[in-house]
C-alpha cells in the first residue's frame, strides 16, 4: 500500500495536477493539507472518476484537510481530543476549532492528516497557539500508543517546523528571529519522538526539502525547507519498505509550494473491480 502526504495549497486550483499524480504514482491513500475549501466546494467528481473516495474537512477558504483513498476508510475524525481552538484577538477555552486535523483508518492503519499552525512570528499569539496545539497532540499521541502499543499509527502532513539545521536552506529563516526553527518549536517536534513516533522517511531519504517559497527564486536556487513529515509508531515503521520525496512536483505549471512525501507499506490490498483510468 502506497501512502502519501501533500500540502496542495488549494485543491480547487490543483485538482487536475493532484489526480494525475495519484494515478501516475499509483498512490493508494493521500493525506492533503490546505485544501482551502469547504466540503461543499471540494472537487469530488475528479477523484471519484479516478477511483478514489474522499473525506474532506474544511470550514472556509483557509486551512482544511482531506484524505483521498482507493481503500475503504473508517473511523473518520475531524479533530483530536485535545485540539485547541484559535480566534485572533480572543482568549479562553471556547475558541473555534480550525480544520487542521483529520484521522482515518485504512487496512488497520491509523492515519492523520495534519496542518500544524504556522506560528507567524515569535511574538504573535498564533505562535503560542502552535505550541499548545503540538503539545496537546503529543499528549494525545502518547495516550493512543499507551492504550494500543501495537497500533500502526502515522501522523502525516505539514508540520511547519524544520527540526534540524540541515532542513533549512532558505536564508530568510534566521535563528532567534524566525518561526519554524525556534528552540521551543523544535522541542515540541521532538516530543513526538518521546511519545513513541519516529520519522520514517529520513532513514531512506536523509537529505532534501519539501517546501520552497514562491518568492525570490527559492526553488531554482534550492533554498527550501524540510517541514513535511510522516511520523510513525514502531508498528507503522515496521511496515515501511521504501520512502521518497517527489521534488519534481514543485516544477511545471501552477505547482503547490510543497511536494508530496511518500511511503510504501508492506500491506497487501485485495484486488477489486474498479475500472482502471488512463
pLDDT in tens, 192-225: 999 999 999 999 999 999 999 999 999 999 999 9
How far is the CA of 161 from the CAs of 133, 206, 210, 228, 229, in angstroms?
13, 16, 11, 8, 9
**What's the whole-number mean pLDDT along residues 68-81?**
98
| Domain boundary assignment for the chain | 2-265
**What's the whole-number mean pLDDT along residues 249-262?**
97
Q: What is the pLDDT of residue 271?
A: 63
Q: What is the pLDDT of residues 98-140, one digit of tens each?
A: 999 999 999 999 999 999 999 999 999 999 999 999 999 999 9
Region of poorest pLDDT, from 10-24, 81-95, 114-128, 238-252? 81-95
**Residue 275's pLDDT band (cuts 50, 70, 90):** very low
**What's the whole-number mean pLDDT along residues 69-96?**
94
Are the C-beta atoms of residues 153 and 196 closer than 8 Å to each other?
A: no
Q: What is the pLDDT of residues 152-162, one digit of tens each?
A: 999 999 999 99
The HSE-up count of residue 188 (CA atoms within 13 Å, CB side) is 25
**Residue 148's pLDDT band (cuts 50, 70, 90):** very high
Length of the chain: 278
Specify the 3-state DSSP secondary structure of 53: strand
Q: What is the pLDDT of residue 93?
A: 80
Q: What is the pLDDT of residue 107?
A: 98
Please enumerate in sequence order all residues whose Cβ is within 8 A of that of 191, keeping only pairs 6 or more positions apart, or say none: 134, 135, 138
Cβ-in-10-Å burial (0-12, 13-18, 19+) of 47 comes to buried
- Angle of CA points 205, 206, 212, to nearest 5°: 80
pLDDT at 269 exceeding the cut of 80: yes
CA 205 to chain centre: 17
**Residue 277's pLDDT band (cuts 50, 70, 90):** very low
pLDDT at 89 exceeding the cut of 70: yes
**What's the whole-number mean pLDDT along residues 241-270?**
97
pLDDT at 276 exceeding the cut of 80: no
d(CA 138, CA 43): 32
Average pLDDT taken over every residue of the chain:
96
CATH of domain 2-265: 3.60.10.10
pLDDT at 274 exceeding the cut of 60: no
Q: What is the pLDDT of residue 91?
A: 83
Q: What is the pLDDT of residue 278?
A: 35
Nearest residue to 11 via CA among 39, 40, 46, 36: 36
Amino acid at each position: 500500500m502506497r501512502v502519501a502526504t501533500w500540502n496542495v495549497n488549494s485543491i480547487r486550483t490543483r485538482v487536475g495536477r493532484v489526480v494525475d499524480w495519484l494515478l501516475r504514482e499509483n498512490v493508494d491513500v493521500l493525506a492533503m493539507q490546505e485544501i482551502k475549501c469547504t466540503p461543499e466546494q471540494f472537487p469530488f467528481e475528479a477523484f471519484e472518476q479516478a477511483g478514489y473516495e474522499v473525506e474532506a474537512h474544511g470550514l472556509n477558504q483557509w486551512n482544511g484537510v482531506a484524505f483521498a483513498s482507493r481503500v475503504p476508510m473508517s473511523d473518520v475524525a475531524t479533530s483530536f481530543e485535545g485540539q485547541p481552538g484559535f480566534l485572533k484577538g480572543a482568549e479562553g477555552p471556547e475558541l473555534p476549532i480550525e480544520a487542521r486535523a483529520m484521522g482515518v483508518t485504512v487496512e488497520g492503519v491509523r492515519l492523520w492528516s495534519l496542518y500544524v499552525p504556522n506560528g507567524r512570528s515569535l511574538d504573535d499569539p498564533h505562535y503560542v497557539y502552535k505550541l499548545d496545539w503540538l503539545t496537546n497532540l503529543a499528549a494525545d499521541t502518547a495516550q493512543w500508543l499507551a492504550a494500543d502499543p501495537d497500533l500502526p499509527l502515522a501522523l502525516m502532513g505539514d508540520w511547519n517546523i524544520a527540526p534540524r539545521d540541515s532542513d533549512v536552506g532558505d536564508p530568510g529563516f534566521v535563528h532567534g528571529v524566525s518561526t519554524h526553527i525556534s528552540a521551543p518549536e523544535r522541542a515540541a517536534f521532538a516530543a513526538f519522538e518521546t511519545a513513541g513516533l519516529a520519522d520514517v522517511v529520513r532513514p531512506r531519504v536523509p537529505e532534501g526539502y519539501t517546501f520552497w517559497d514562491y518568492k525570490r527564486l527559492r526553488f531554482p536556487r534550492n533554498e527550501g525547507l524540510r517541514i513535511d513529515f510522516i511520523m510513525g509508531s514502531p508498528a507503522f515503521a515496521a511496515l515501511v519498505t521504501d520512502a521518497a520525496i517527489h521534488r519534481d512536483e514543485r516544477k511545471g505549471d501552477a505547482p503547490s509550494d510543497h511536494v508530496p512525501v511518500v511511503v510504501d507499506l508492506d500491506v497487501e490490498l485485495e484486488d477489486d473491480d474498479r475500472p482502471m483510468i488512463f
